[in-house]
């Protein structure tokens, strides 16, 4: 009897006393601030990892240390494989696990740092310019969404998603045939002459990277307003981080085209 009375009085605030349940237990919901904090953390992890391989490659080139360059490229390759695997996974299921999100950010940072150092050696100042351009483009897209100059719509979603699938397929084909020594001529390497097709592809993909943020902003806003579970803040942060990294890559390539001409 005593045990029964204890259970009735201590079921917890969410349920109320036994037999007088007033509401179901409430899951903690995500807020926009949650996404911001997680995005900053992921971008920070990307930056730290990038500094590691950037320093290794830069010092290796300056001191003619092939071992350091080789180690950085090995880390970058591992990062590329990890990042690609997680990105493919995210196409089928939202990334809500922080460990997976950080694995992606760190892996991409390792790749990003080494490649950025190579670009910097060929074009002094290009990395800073690409980073600044990434921040400015992201800020511009956020302002366009915030003031409802650009809005998401079913047609907009179809265009962005369809183009994204095409870009991913094109990149995968180029990556696979490149592994066998075949150059499709879709992208110009630093210092190479740039064809009209390569300009069109680079500009088109960069524009897609910028406009795809509208889908991310809309998803985050909708999820926060409709009480999505807090774990989905990681999905929003992952999407923004992946978008920023992809935008940076393409701005880096585009700037190298301008400086190569």
The string of pLDDT tens digits covering residues 179-236 is: 888 889 899 887 788 999 999 999 999 999 999 999 999 999 999 999 999 999 999 9
- 48-57 pLDDT, tens digit each: 999 999 999 9
> What is residue 125's three-state secondary structure?
coil
Q: Tokens for 189?
A: 């390497």
Residue with tokens 């990277």: 209
The answer to whether 46 and 108 are in contact (CB under 8 A) is yes
What's the token pair of residue 244?
């920023």
Name the 3-class secondary structure at 229.
Answer: strand
Q: What is the pLDDT of residue 62?
A: 87
CA–CA gap between residue 29 and residue 222 (Å, rounded): 12
Structure confidence at residue 26 as a pLDDT band (50, 70, 90): low
Backbone angles phi, psi at 20, to 5 degrees: -130, 40
Structure tokens at 173: 């084909």
Of all residues in the chain, the percent with pLDDT exceeding 70 is 89
Q: Which residues pair with 229 in a beta bridge?
A: 29
In this predicted structure, the answer to whether residue 158 has a pLDDT above a threshold of 50 is yes
Distance from C-alpha of 207 to C-alpha of 225, rounded to nearest angstrom: 28
pLDDT at position 260: 59
Q: State the alpha helices, DSSP H only, in the chain.
A: 2-9, 32-62, 66-90, 98-122, 126-146, 154-179, 196-211, 213-225, 232-260
Please state, in angstroms and rounded to a whole number, the distance separating the CA atoms of residues 148 and 86. Answer: 32
Instruction: Confirm if 52 and 110 have CB atoms less than 8 A apart.
Output: yes
How long, in residues, is the chain?
261
Q: What secondary structure letter does DSSP report for 27?
A: P
Q: In a 10 Å sphere around its CB, with 0-12 CB exposed, 13-18 middle and 19+ buried, how is residue 176 labelled? A: exposed
Closest CA to 172 of 104, 56, 84, 76: 84
Predicted local distance difference test score (pLDDT) of residue 178: 87
Q: Is the dihedral of CA 258, 210, 133, 74 positive or negative?
A: negative
Q: Looking at the predicted structure, is the pLDDT value of residue 117 above 80?
A: yes
Instruction: Output the six-digit token pair for 64.
Output: 């003619």
- Band of residue 106 on the pLDDT scale cut at 50, 70, 90: very high
Residue 29 in 3-state DSSP?
strand
């Amino acid at each position: 009897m005593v045990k029964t009375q204890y259970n009735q009085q201590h079921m917890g605030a969410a349920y109320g006393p036994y037999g007088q349940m007033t509401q179901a237990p409430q899951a903690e919901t995500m807020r926009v601030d949650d996404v911001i904090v997680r995005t900053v953390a992921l971008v920070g992890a990307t930056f730290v990892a990038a500094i590691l391989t950037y320093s290794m490659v830069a010092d290796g080139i300056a001191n003619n240390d092939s071992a350091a360059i080789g180690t950085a490229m090995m880390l970058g390759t591992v990062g590329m494989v990890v990042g690609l695997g997680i990105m493919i996974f995210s196409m089928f299921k939202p990334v809500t696990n922080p460990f997976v999100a950080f694995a992606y950010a760190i892996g991409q940072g390792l790749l990003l740092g080494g490649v950025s150092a190579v670009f910097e050696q060929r074009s002094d100042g290009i990395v800073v310019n690409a980073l600044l351009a990434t921040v400015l483009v992201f800020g511009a897209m956020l302002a366009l969404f915030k003031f409802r100059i650009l809005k998401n719509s079913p047609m907009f979603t179809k265009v962005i998603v369809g183009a994204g699938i095409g870009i991913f397929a094109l990149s995968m084909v180029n990556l696979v045939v490149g592994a066998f020594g075949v150059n499709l001529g879709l992208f110009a390497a630093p210092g190479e002459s740039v064809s009209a097709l390569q300009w069109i592809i680079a500009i088109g993909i960069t524009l897609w990277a910028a406009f795809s943020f509208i889908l991310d902003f809309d998803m985050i806003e909708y999820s926060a307003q409709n009480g999505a579970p807090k774990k989905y803040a990681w999905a929003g942060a992952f999407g923004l981080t992946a978008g920023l990294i992809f935008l940076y890559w393409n701005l880096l390539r585009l700037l190298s085209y301008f400086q190569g001409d």
